[in-house]
Structure 1
Amino acid sequence: MQLDDWMHQEPRRFEYFHRLMGYIMLSLVLVVYHQTVPDTSYQIFIPFLLVLLLLLSPKLSQWLTYRYNSNIKRNVFFIIDVAVVSVMLAAVHLDLVLSFLGLSALLYTAISNKISFLMTTLASLIGTTVFYLSAILVFGLGNYFEQSSSELTILGFICLMMYFGVGSFYQSGRVQYMTKKKNHYFDQMNRYMEFANQLSRYAPVQLWQSIMKGESEAKIEYKRKKLTIFFSDIQGFTELSETLIPDDLAFLLNDYLSHMTEIAKKYEATVDKFMGDAILIFFGDPNSEGVEQDAKNCLEMALAMRQQMKLLRERWVKMGYPPLHIRMGISTGYCHVGNYGANHRMAYTIVGRDANLAARLQSAAEVDEILISDDTHNLIKNDYLCAPKKPIFLKGIKAPVRTWQVMERYAFQKVEYQRWFDYEYKGFHLLLNLDEVQNFDYPNLIEVLERMIKRIETQQKLTNSQGIVKLKLEDEVIETVPPETIR
């Protein structure tokens, strides 16, 4: 167990250990070769060279890793191993068995260390050069490709099998260790993702995604942006809570909030908070499609919520609950949005006049009414049919607030609902701006337009097709034509 831990925790130590093992085997083979083959002299000094390389290799490995990287280090040591084997092959005069075993060990080293083909080719050229230099300058050009003795053959195969076995044992153990570690990290990642998903339910999904992607940080900061704010609550829910048991009250509230939240999610709204049956939602941060489109998305969401509430109300009535209705207020303006609180506990929310205005509009709205501010109306009036309401005084706001009731989205051509008319043709000029007309002025406008229509119809009866005014019968002159002219 300790050997496995040592191998897995210190791969560089095993690399040194494996090289030490290979060099010892080479030294043993050369010593036996020196003792069993006549006319050998310098082969006995090669083990001393290998000991020197083993002593220098830790420092060299550390320097290469620090100066370059581990890949360069592996390539350099592979070239050194090729040079060592080349010297050994020159020392044994390319003994058939020993040459095969040495080349097999190099091939195994190249594969296990993932040496590239280009580097293998370069190392082969260097090894060939080292081989000929060693043969010419040190060991001489003797008889090559001779048969190995039985002692060298057995010893060589035993050394090669041990070299392969230790390396394969390490590789398989390393693979198992990494697989186990990967599975452990994968399980931990799934566990943390489950925790993150659970925690994300306590924060707006856009904020959570932004933090997970590294686009924002969980720190106290805020910014000023133009937002569209939505506020709604259930009419009479406080009184209803006094008559229902807690289980029924919790069912109604959770059923309502879950459906409204799904609609808000569909329109990519930022759900700020739930305050009992009240919902605070805004558009424009952290994601925005532009101020105008944010306002339109908010209106679409409000209409969808109102429609969904009709379905919920019908279902609740069938279940024996009283009919419930909602009121909604929407405003658009500049607010401060960001993280407020302390370093250990903060909340992502909005602060500003228009946030309070949306709440006040909701309080002033009628049952199932969507009441919007004048700034919001200016952004959506080309796509939604809205009815102006009398300016109202709201708590906390000094000046009267001009409000609009959202009716529906234009389903036909906009000309049927256009709010500005400017038509001029040959003595006729109509200029009408419905944005400046209050609902109590509509009867007067209709009366004036009806008088205009009657006057035009009277004028049409007084003129002929050429536009000439018709005369009365007594005004017409009858001319007598002489008979001779008729001929």
Structure 2
Amino acid sequence: MLFDRISMNRFAIECVYRAIAYTILSVGVLIYYTDEPMRLMYWTVPIASVILLSISIKAFYYLKYKINEASARQCIFVLDVVVAALAIASVHFSLVFSLLLIISLIFIGNSFKSSFITTVVVCAIGIITSYLASIFIFGFQNYFNLNDIRLVLYSFSCFLLFLGSAFYFYKNYLEHVKKTKHYYQEQMDRYVQFSTQLSRYAPKQLWQSIMSGETQAKIEYKRKKMTIFFSDIQGFTELAENLPPEELAFLLNDYLGHMTEIAKKYEATLDKFVGDGILIFFGDPHSNGLEQDAKKCIEMALMMRQQMHVLRERWFKMGFPELHIRMGVSTGYCHVGNYGSDYRMSYTVIGHNVNLASRLQAVADIDEILVTDSTYNLVKDQFICIPKQPMQLKGMQNSMNTWQILEKYTGNTADMQQWFDYNYKGFHLLLNLEEIQHYEHVKLIDILEKMTATLKTQKRMTTNQGVAKLTLSDEVVEILDKE
């Protein structure tokens, strides 16, 4: 509608200028014949101008909707050429009048950016019209006349008026284009801002697919083999009962913000937040293959666990209790797509393996990553895994074999590893070489050597069964007691 309104306003202005131009041509023709007896043929040009002006208005609207606006304007230009050819023939090709009129037509024709064939056809129509008018109406005499000084002065005056009005119109047109461009740029910026804000309520991959036209927002789903990840914060429900809402919101947003950035790094599809729980899946709408998706999911889980160590230290300094996460991963067939109604739909994943990932997370120990056999078989060549006792999960009829992911297997590249994260009862080592300065190496080596010496002493003082060894004096006392 806006384009149509702009086009109509522009055409209305052009009609006013065209009416003025036709009037100027008619007056010029009448000036040429002022010294001759009045004849009916002298009014040929004014009458034709009025008729063709009326035709041009109706023709423009008809052709605009039947063909297109550019073609409609070129057809109107042909009518202008016909009027100009009649005027030139009526003044018997008076040199100044004709040349200035032809120059004006060339100037107008260039603004349409017509093709070479169109230009040739228009010129042919103009020449044919002028010769036919000369033959049947105005006759052949006094060609290229320069004696009529009034027509010459009038022609130059009108030409200067034409140039002035053309430049004025062109300047206004440029300002109009500039304002229109500015308006649409503002609308585009608003559209980008709105789309960016709305994209935060949907997975990034889904939003990009919709924007590119690959996916449509309609109720549909498909069955697909995927890797599902589920995590939550252990003890968060109890913590929520004791913390003020502002502190709880800060803690939760800080946690979810860091976990989201990690998921984004590994190109995961973040399905939803369920309180402190996070549901993530790999394999839709884009997939790198089932095995690669599973490995990226485990790498993401390890990175989240490492990041949680950093967050826990920061939160502890801020006065919050220690918080730990539990994670469950399952690989198998699920149904993924848009669910809901045309009014409100949600892009999500459902199925047995989604429930399985949730159940694994619920039974996992703190900072533990539990995976199913199907996931283990896909990632066992790159990650250190240890078997767990078969578990009876809630809602599952049979016990299940599960595996705990310890760390990524680095093989011969251990010397280049930047992260060391080992957790065992009574012992926890977290080493991030990326954050340690070179001048701190000596101090850390000294601490590790003291820890190693303490462990060796403890090992020397105990038996293989963990019982403290007796000294020589203790053994003598024991023998005497027996005697």
The TM-score bracket by the shorter chain reads 0.7 to 0.9
Aligned to 2:296, the other structure's residue is in SS state helix
Decide which moves more: 291-300 or 381-390. 381-390
For residue 389 of structure 1, what is the aligned residue in structure 2?
A: 388
For residue 141 of structure 2, what is the aligned residue in structure 1?
A: 142
For residue 83 of structure 1, what is the aligned residue in structure 2?
A: 82
**Shift, 1:403, TM fit:** 0.8
**Shift, 1:328, TM fit:** 0.7
**Shift, 1:33, TM fit:** 0.6
Residue by residue over 1:243-269, the C-alpha shift from the partner in whole angstroms, topping out at 9 and shown as x without a partner, is: 433333332222111111000011111
Partners of 2:65 and 2:239 in 1: CA distance: 73
Partners of 2:210 and 2:68 in 1: CA distance: 34
Letter of the 2:205 partner, please give it: Q
- Asked whether the equivalents of residues 52 and 79 of structure 2 are also in contact (C-alpha less than 8 Å), the reply is no
Alignment of 1:219-234 (within 5 A): 219-234=218-233
Partners of 1:196 and 1:89 in 2: CA distance: 59
For residue 191 of structure 1, what is the aligned residue in structure 2?
A: 190
For residue 154 of structure 2, what is the aligned residue in structure 1?
A: 155
Partners of 1:91 and 1:180 in 2: CA distance: 43
Alignment of 1:311-330 (within 5 A): 311-330=310-329
**Shift, 1:7, TM fit:** 8.0
Decide which moves more: 216-225 or 265-274. 216-225
Partners of 1:6 and 1:153 in 2: CA distance: 41
Partners of 1:249 and 1:61 in 2: CA distance: 67
Aligned residues: 410
Partners of 2:341 and 2:333 in 1: CA distance: 24
Partners of 2:86 and 2:402 in 1: CA distance: 95
- Asked whether the equivalents of residues 328 and 369 of structure 2 are also in contact (C-alpha less than 8 Å), the reply is yes
Alignment of 1:279-298 (within 5 A): 279-298=278-297
Cα 1:27–1:130 change in 2 (3 A) is: same
Residue 250 (structure 1) aligned with residue 273 (structure 2):
no
For residue 54 of structure 1, what is the aligned residue in structure 2?
A: 53
**Shift, 1:106, TM fit:** 0.4
Letter of the 1:106 partner, please give it: L
Partners of 2:251 and 2:403 in 1: CA distance: 30
- Asked whether the equivalents of residues 230 and 329 of structure 2 are also in contact (C-alpha less than 8 Å), the reply is yes
Residue by residue over 1:343-366, the C-alpha shift from the partner in whole angstroms, topping out at 9 and shown as x without a partner, is: 333322222111110011111212
Cα 1:7–1:95 change in 2 (3 A) is: farther
Residue by residue over 1:334-389, the C-alpha shift from the partner in whole angstroms, topping out at 9 and shown as x without a partner, is: 12222333433332222211111001111121221111011111222222222222
**Shift, 1:148, TM fit:** 4.9
**Shift, 1:66, TM fit:** 4.3
Aligned to 1:216, the other structure's residue is in SS state coil
Partners of 1:275 and 1:389 in 2: CA distance: 27
Cα 1:244–1:137 change in 2 (3 A) is: closer
Q: Which runs of 5+ in 1 are unaligned?
A: 415-487
From the CA coordinates, give the structure whose radius of gyration is larger. Answer: 1
Residue by residue over 1:131-171, the C-alpha shift from the partner in whole angstroms, topping out at 9 and shown as x without a partner, is: 34444554344333332533223332343344444444444
Decide which moves more: 303-312 or 404-413. 404-413
Decide which moves more: 32-41 or 295-304. 32-41
Letter of the 2:335 partner, please give it: H
- Asked whether the equivalents of residues 26 and 87 of structure 2 are also in contact (C-alpha less than 8 Å), the reply is no
TM-score, length of structure 2 as denominator length: 0.77
- Asked whether the equivalents of residues 45 and 83 of structure 2 are also in contact (C-alpha less than 8 Å), the reply is no
Alignment of 1:241-390 (within 5 A): 241-390=240-389
- Asked whether the equivalents of residues 96 and 148 of structure 1 are also in contact (C-alpha less than 8 Å), the reply is no
**Shift, 1:394, TM fit:** 0.1
- Asked whether the equivalents of residues 95 and 148 of structure 1 are also in contact (C-alpha less than 8 Å), the reply is no
Aligned to 1:35, the other structure's residue is in SS state coil
Cα 1:278–1:62 change in 2 (3 A) is: closer
For residue 70 of structure 2, what is the aligned residue in structure 1?
A: 71
Partners of 2:139 and 2:8 in 1: CA distance: 46
Residue by residue over 1:218-256, the C-alpha shift from the partner in whole angstroms, topping out at 9 and shown as x without a partner, is: 333332222211011122222333443333333222211
Letter of the 2:296 partner, please give it: N
**Shift, 1:38, TM fit:** 8.3
Partners of 1:374 and 1:6 in 2: CA distance: 66
For residue 464 of structure 1, what is the aligned residue in structure 2?
A: none
Partners of 2:44 and 2:246 in 1: CA distance: 92
Letter of the 1:48 partner, please give it: I
Partners of 2:6 and 2:235 in 1: CA distance: 71
CA RMSD across the alignment: 2.8
Aligned to 1:86, the other structure's residue is in SS state helix
* % identity of equivalent residues: 51
Decide which moves more: 311-320 or 252-261. 311-320
Aligned to 1:401, the other structure's residue is in SS state coil
Letter of the 1:200 partner, please give it: S
For residue 236 of structure 2, what is the aligned residue in structure 1?
A: 237
**Shift, 1:63, TM fit:** 4.1
**Shift, 1:107, TM fit:** 1.8
Residue by residue over 1:77-128, the C-alpha shift from the partner in whole angstroms, topping out at 9 and shown as x without a partner, is: 3333233323322322222221222112202211333334443344234433
For residue 204 of structure 1, what is the aligned residue in structure 2?
A: 203
Partners of 2:392 and 2:77 in 1: CA distance: 86
Decide which moves more: 349-358 or 163-172. 163-172
Aligned to 1:392, the other structure's residue is in SS state coil
